[in-house]
Amino acid sequence: MRIDILTLFPEIVEAPLRASLLGKAREKGLLDVRVTNIRDFAHDRHRTTDDAPFGGGAGMVMKCEPIFEAVESLRDENRLDRIVLMSPRGRRLDQALVQELAEAGDLAVICGRYEGVDERVSQGLCTDEISIGDYVLSGGELPALVLVEALSRMNPGVVGKWESVETDSFYSGLLGFPQYTRPREYRGMAAPDVLLEGNHALIERWRRKEALRITKQRRPDLLNNLQEDDRKLLAELVREESESNRENTSERVG
């Protein structure tokens, strides 16, 4: 998979792409991420890529011509299966969309700026608009990096062990289970005994049950399509919570 990021500010994305897992994956040839400066496709001596909005209003709008030409230049060497505009009005990024894009092929990601991008980019060029959340940022560069980071984890070899990906929050449809490491006890807080007893079947059951518990507490909307085993674990969890609540109520009354 190749990902091309198109931006007015390459310096914002280039440093993170050289660091940590992304940098190592690029060095090893496991991940092909390239950065294109949209200003290189402006035709005046000032490299103008924005202009005042038709109809008036505050701020500036990114011009469509440099963006179209930047994408077309990439098509000469890359098939570009999907062309994404990072946009607050786009489809919310989630793990299902990440997996969809990871399977789709090569990708171009356009980073908006200022008051937005000329609508003709969305109408005549993009296949997707994607948002990373309901809040305001100065541009699409950081959202583009979020997308690249998420996609990179779907590429075998980028993360050392594929098991690390499979246990990520949302990959399996649930939030992640709690993790512990040394020391066994710290400031009166101890790691659960089950994790230290070497029974891998019990450990896996505990982890799945804890993932269900945390998801139930924080994102119950994710529990709508559980498999039969998870439904049984969830029912067991609900019974235990109900019994615990009754015991606590009884203690307070007593």
Six-digit token pair at 183?
């020391």
- The residue type at 113: R
- Over residues 137-150, the pLDDT tens digits come to 999 999 999 999 99
Six-digit token pair at 37?
């400066």
Write out the catalytic residue numbers: 88, 115, 153, 168
Q: Evaluate if residue 162 carries a pLDDT over 90.
A: no
Confidence of residue 155 (pLDDT cuts 50, 70, 90): confident
- Over residues 190-200, the pLDDT tens digits come to 999 999 999 99
- Over residues 203-235, the pLDDT tens digits come to 999 999 999 999 999 999 999 999 999 999 999
Domains of the chain: 2-152 (3.40.1280.10), 185-253 (1.10.1270.20)
What pTM value is reported for the model?
Answer: 0.84
Residue 135: count other Cβ atoms within 10 Å of its Cβ: 7
- Percentage of the chain modeled with pLDDT above 70: 94
β 107-111/82-92 pair status? parallel
- Over residues 79-107, the pLDDT tens digits come to 899 999 999 999 999 999 999 999 999 99
